Structure 1
Amino acid sequence: MATVSERLEDAAASHEAAAAQLTALLDAIKVSRTEVIVFNATGAWENKAGIKYLDVVITGGGGGGGGSGAYVRYAGNGGGAGATVVKRFSRAELDALDASVAVTIGAGGAAGTEGVAGSDGGASSFAGLLAGGGVGGASGDGQLVRGQIGGDASGGDLNLGGNPGGSASFGDDNGSDVVAGSGGAAYWGGAGRGGAEGSLGGTGGAGAAPGSGGGGGAFGDTGSPEEGSNPGGAGAAGVAVFKEYY
């Protein structure tokens, strides 16, 4: 049978081992500095060994706004916003990735011209995360159509679908008060404004923040700054933001 002295020594050794394990665990999660990397275009992220964990926010491209028709009441819808995915990668998850990992940034959708819908935004992706692009806005053809949907999201801790674009308001038979649909606002804000037939100008506004949709174009009435048919605004390209913890 072990003596009291031997038991005390064993207990002390166990405590020392536990303390060493705790110290190693704290060192593994302790953060001494951070770095932020922003991708506005497709590229590659370098998986450095010293990173303890990684936060990623990735957004798809916004849809372009639809162009107006060729009549005073015809206005286009806004493009949908790109989706956003948010995820934290642990060091164990990073160890399963390659040393260089592709980052794809979706392009913004092109604006629609007279009678032409806006183009869809492109999808953004990284390591199993997928942020879809927003759908391009319908063109103005005298029919009431819902604003176009935003992109879909998958793979993250938080998957946020893009906001839809706005629907056009056609006003009265004389073309008064016609306003095109605004673009969908992305995670970062910045929806493109819809065009109007009066002094505001009929061209839709471009998406002003990553992943936001472009506004639809409105037919400008006689004597307005942008008389006649007008295009929508372009959707904004997506983005990926990486925050590395060392």
Structure 2
Amino acid sequence: MFFLDVQGTLISDVDKSLIFGAKELIDFLNANNLTYVIITNNTKKLDFLEILRQKGLNIKDNAYLDPFYILKTLFKPCKVAAFGANEFLQSLEMLGFKLDFKNPELVLIASFDDFKFNDFASIIEMIKNGVKVVAMHESSIYKKDNKSYPGVGSIMAMLKNAIHFEYDVVGKPSVIFYNEALKLLKMQNQNARFEDIKIISDDFKGDLLKAKELNMKTFLVLSGKLNNTKGIDVSILDGVYPSVLEILKEEQCLI
């Protein structure tokens, strides 16, 4: 049983192309009727699953989860102050949320490479006024144009250092997200448990630490955010691989 991350694991951070072995891994899982769920912190495109399929990943139905699904489950469309890329804001509007930075009912924070300190000041004022805050995920960093940017998890840590508040998380590595992914696995195998799952990701802090707390088997790939294990506690990992290609070869030997 597998949870498979996307960015930096199945598709390249550099040009969004498939990482070598990604298509073959999905095809192998499908051919051998192995259970899996694609778990992504995508907060830009509502049709991201179809985009992945168009790239050549033959992802089966009911085997994909992103933060938008959790957001729709937890919150009805309402007035939101949303901070993130334009595609994120557009997707929220398509879901029925109304952008309102004066009297919002929710503050939503997603990945963005153009945050201004004025944005953080606005968020802090909204927190002071009692507006509920939702982080779309808690990724530690993300890569773009060969640069590493602080992820939403890092932004939230900075805000919590500035003002005391609580917030919800709808993407990885929240327990609610992993529980929803487990429900999808149970649709394929009703006996699925966290203990049976191998989670494969390039995000040590943003995906694998919490997964290990839930007793999943954690596998780090060095094809995205990290290219070595310097500075991380490898003792919590069940495996470290250059890419999913090496994991595929190992799984093929087990069949």
Aligning the two structures, in what range does the TM-score lie when normalised by the shorter sequence?
under 0.3
Q: Counting helix residues as a fraction of each chain, which structure ranks higher?
A: 2
TM-score, scaled to structure 2: 0.24
**Structure showing greater Rg:** 1
TM-score, scaled to structure 1: 0.24
